[in-house]
Amino acid sequence: MAQLSPYLTFNNNCREAMSYYKECLGGELTLMPVRDTPVCDQVPAEFQDSILHSSLKTVDFEILASDMSPEKVIVGNDVHISLSVNSEKDLNTLFAKLSDGGKVKQPINPMFFGLIGSLTDKFGKHWVLTFMNSNSKN
């Protein structure tokens, strides 16, 4: 079964925004600064305190967010639909279907947590698809 969540992108104020959402909505907040990840050596020094990934989990929902974006963050490209799937096969199948007639923004590629790819579908909606390794924490 896949899990669907909103994925918000911020302009270097993810920590502030997600802390605010935690105050408003409750739940458990996890923040992953770039400097605390295996990719820290690949990111310039000025981005080491930026949030690579965050999660606000409650019993009913999860909100995901980041400061990191391959493109300038503007209203319209700052909200994605995150779909986390249970197998690499599901990831490849859904990615191919959703990108048909759309635009691949980031092909599926390996990261320290598993696999990730992003696309804009033919209706202009932004998607991030992930498959987490069984040893990943999020």
Q: Burial of 69 by CB count in 10 Å (0-12 exposed, 13-18 middle, 19+ buried)? A: middle
H-helix or E-strand containing 118?
Answer: strand 114-120
| 28-53 exposure pattern, b = at least 16 Cβ within 10 A, e = fewer | ebebbbbeebeeeeeeeeebeebbbb
For 45-65, the pLDDT digits (tens) are 999 999 999 999 999 899 999
pLDDT at 112 over 60: yes
- Fold of the 3-132 domain: 2,3-Dihydroxybiphenyl 1,2-Dioxygenase; domain 1 (3.10.180)
How far apart CA 82 and CA 91 sit, in angstroms, is 12
SS3 assignment, position 41: helix
* Maximum CA extent, the chain: 40
pLDDT category at 138 given cuts 50, 70, 90 is: very low
Q: What is the mean pLDDT of residues 35-40?
A: 95
How far apart CA 89 and CA 87 sit, in angstroms, is 5
Indicate the domain borders of the chain.
3-132
pLDDT at 71 over 70: yes
* DSSP class per residue in 81-93: EEEEES-HHHHHH
How far apart CA 33 and CA 45 sit, in angstroms, is 12
For 1-34, the pLDDT digits (tens) are 688 999 999 999 999 999 999 999 999 999 999 9
